[in-house]
Structure 1
């Protein structure tokens, strides 16, 4: 009998375990130099998709098909359970109970995190900050909602998260009090979006990820952007990947 490997489950496990700290001496992926994006597939054997994949993220989003997409069905009821600096970004982990409903399946909100500057572009335009809300089904199917932030007024909800930034020990999750209503405020009121297939934007770069990127943005102050850079010391965005003629709906 052939052994069946659930690659979706492996991708989910890898994504959730991104909070762990690498062992001393281990070669670990990063955003610069010999472990940067162009070398990810060389860091570990199971990172091969980062260089061989044909449906990779992020991309420059240019809609190719107008289908009048229905509103996303979001039912966010649970609060945050913790916050962590995982060495690549600040990540807020969510208690069970928040769901994105897609094709009759429950995609549970697992965590959200940030990239400075944005990873995806919209019509050739980059943004200083992008948030990714990562959802997963029980069997490992993945869906990500992307939210862009343009430079402008200080963001009150980000302020709650940024307050913790400089105090976090890398790899150590701390309890974090963020209500579900506050999580919703990290998304624009106008929820028109682009839809396309893609991948995780970090190793192992697993594909078959459903992407939903809101057309409308929120704001973030220059001071808030600079604080993120001060803590991490590097931009944490993967370069734009080839769309390979994939369909981008709006």
Structure 2
């Protein structure tokens, strides 16, 4: 199961794009839009039938004492890529997330505009997803909301080399300082969910940071101008899931 989940996220998020790879036939518009994902391929059936799907509207969270997030950061080589579905930054080893006894290593981070998850019915203009994986192949996603405000200097480092064409990639001359990109406090909501792209594999730990950071209107428009369409999956039913505060 975990091996399949790892393969799924590699395909869905396009960790690397090779010349011999066939394009993924799903998207956000027309006959390949989210409402059709479950019928596009037998591998995508969870997009339609899954009961623990993401994203969700976070509300009525259960207050409890869940594990604090311990994040470690290491500057290293970063590759930015336009995979046609998002703008993604692949990172080198050394960035980790620990919750209690579990430790996950950051693989990549990417963006959705507008936000996929909502907090008490509020949608944000941009959302970042930091995709982590542990040694067993389980996945955890740390979600960061951006609200319109001052220009974000860390986002600017990535945006200045944002590839305009699909399958274009570049090594960032100024790597994003992930620690500086994230808010000072790591208070978060936690729930069990799925990938928000086909094949919509479940069993993904979601941690949505409560505190948003800023991005300018121009930075948000730059992202839209490159993708040419919104890239957010619609909200999915909780189906009885409990969100932990």
Normalised by the length of structure 2, the TM-score is 0.92
Name the structure 2 match of 1:90.
87
Contact 2:147 2:212 (C-alpha < 8 Å) held by counterparts: yes
Secondary structure at 2:128's aligned position in 1? strand
Quick one: which of 230, 233, 236 aligns to 2:231?
Answer: 236
State the Cα distance separating 1:175 from its structure 2 match: 1.2
The reply to whether residue 194 of structure 1 matches residue 189 of structure 2 is yes
State the Cα distance separating 1:16 from its structure 2 match: 5.2
Q: Distance in 2 between matches of 1:26 and 1:222?
A: 31
Secondary structure at 1:150's aligned position in 2? strand
Quick one: which of 111, 122, 126 aligns to 1:125?
Answer: 122
The reply to whether residue 161 of structure 1 matches residue 158 of structure 2 is yes
Quick one: which of 54, 68, 72 aligns to 1:71?
Answer: 68
Q: Deviations over 1:181-235 (max 9, x none)?
A: x111221112211011100001110100000001110011111111111111100
- Structure 1 gap ranges (5+): none
Structure 1 residues 42 and 176: CA distance shift in structure 2, 3 A: same
State the Cα distance separating 1:176 from its structure 2 match: 1.5
Contact 1:76 1:98 (C-alpha < 8 Å) held by counterparts: yes
The reply to whether residue 204 of structure 1 matches residue 199 of structure 2 is yes
Quick one: which of 25, 29, 48 aligns to 1:28?
Answer: 25
Structure 1 residues 25 and 114: CA distance shift in structure 2, 3 A: closer
The reply to whether residue 53 of structure 1 matches residue 50 of structure 2 is yes
Structure 1 residues 27 and 201: CA distance shift in structure 2, 3 A: closer
- Structure 2 gap ranges (5+): none
Name the structure 2 match of 1:174.
170
Aligned 1:89-108 pairs, distance under 5 A? 89-108=86-105
Q: Deviations over 1:1-52 (max 9, x none)?
A: xxx8843333243245354379799661000110000111222211111001
Normalised by the length of structure 1, the TM-score is 0.90
Q: Distance in 1 between matches of 2:105 and 2:35?
A: 31
Q: Compute the RMSD of aligned alpha carbons.
A: 2.2
Secondary structure at 2:65's aligned position in 1? coil
